[in-house]
Structure 1
Amino acid sequence: MTLHLPKKVTIVEVGPRDGLQNEKSFIPTEVKKQFINRLKNAGIKEMELTSFVSPKWVPQMGDATEIVADCLDSTTRNIVLAPNQKGIDRVLETNCKAVAVFVGVSNTFNKKNINKTTEESLEELKPIIKNLKDQNFFVRACISTSFYCPYEGKIEEEDTLKLCSEFVAAGVDELSIADTIGMASPGESYSLFTKIKEAFPHTLINAHFHDTRKMALTNIFAALQAGVDRFDTSAGGLGGCPFAPGATGNVATEDVVYMLDRMGIETGIDLTELVKAVDMVAPYLSRKIDSTYYRLQHA
């Protein structure tokens, strides 16, 4: 059997944003800054720092302005999430030049998340994306419920591809394709990513897997076979989604890096320093760290 694998993979660390946003207790801002800096020390070169969302709905992200003010640097792609024009306006007051927007393929999920249909969200975002690109921003589109929805069940590939096509036409630089509730199988992962890679050869394609059913690593392996070389991961396996019942954390950065290292695929990330970053934030979390590599380092 011939494996078709890249020589190098880019890890986009989402722990400080996607990982921490669902924590019930507010994590001190200084702790978040230290966490971010230690992740960068481990070799992370692309990262979601925080979200410019309403503190009323996501109190954990209420310190977004301060995080961005202190955590930007010239060697990392520092990404912030902004769901709408109000969030974008706050981003424009900072020096950040990389933004993530998001839409769910599922209308029901989208309505519960941001109280808009998929089409309504897309139409609102198109002029925002154009404005950001006119100002030389890097824009990533996060496509939620790309495989399954907690309310609508299986999502058809054609629907995910159609939404991706709309975002590419709008001018985004990257598509982050999310298995939001962790139900994708390796066959489904290979199939969808093969079609996405073929359809959008000039767009960065990123796979975002949740480890709800312990299938994330197998799905990453399948996505690698389909030509994907960018993956969203979260240090310590932190995360979840308040609008996706039962969804657990993102796949753990340390588990992915360990697997890729064993496969001879370069990531540029130091596992020892990565574990130190998780050690630093662990005492402030509401749940135990759920990643195999981390657990074995502390056995």
Structure 2
Amino acid sequence: MTRKLLTGLLVAVILISLLELWGTNPKQTYRDQVAVLMYHHVHDTDQSSSTVSSALFRDQLSYLKKQGYTFISLSEFIRFYEGAPVPEKAVLVTFDDGYRSFYDYAFPILKELDIPAVNFIVTQDLAAPDAPSIPALSRENIRELLGYRAGMFDVQCHSNALHYKAGREGALTGRLETGGGPENEAQYIERVSQDSQACAQRLQELYGSPDAAKAYAYPFGIFSDTAKSLIRDAGFRYAFTIVSEMATRSSNPMEIPRINAGNPSIKPEHLDKQIQLRVERVHKPAGDRSVPVQ
């Protein structure tokens, strides 16, 4: 009996030791792919399904760093698509909508943790950043972001003035009503072309560079082949969706997937698990990932 008891205790000790060792080791690594995280609003009093507190935002990113993830900039991500290597467990942090809360709440944390990020802004808001219901980044805010450290923070395009829905359709893909009924194809093409070119022009003014317009995030994640073509014609070579997968070089550069991290229910461990689960699915064939237009 004593021998069996000792044997049982020894087995228990070994199992506990293995569990503790497994719990402290980083999760599986991955190569040649990037977890692109999507956020919208970081705020300590506002509440919504796309708003996280500054404490949760810091905890998420700090936890990922402890688990061995490496954060890269938009420039490094683009070089990856062009064939350059990225670190193991690479992560790109993205924000949509260009809210001023990025400057007030996220920017200090990103600086503290030394993590790059890109914010996709609605460029018409630059003219009156206090006008939207949630104030937008001002030109002064953006100049400080871009000047902090070369290439660490970026702003790119979330349309110039098409971040809204007309009924159930996104303004980027839908045919809007005119005085004589729905716009025809020529009118639609002209409207989206002009909007995309205006967004590119405003980015060029912010950066002081003709090559500033590189990336686009589709409003509401809704896009179509026609919209993709018009945005590409305006100079954007990379576009981000809300499809929840890992980004690999086999991903269409105009349909780059992103993993939502900006919901208040997503705890740090949950975010880590979301990434790990998607690592296992990256080898499936890349098909049409467009969000259906309702």
Larger Rg: 2
TM-score (norm 1): 0.44
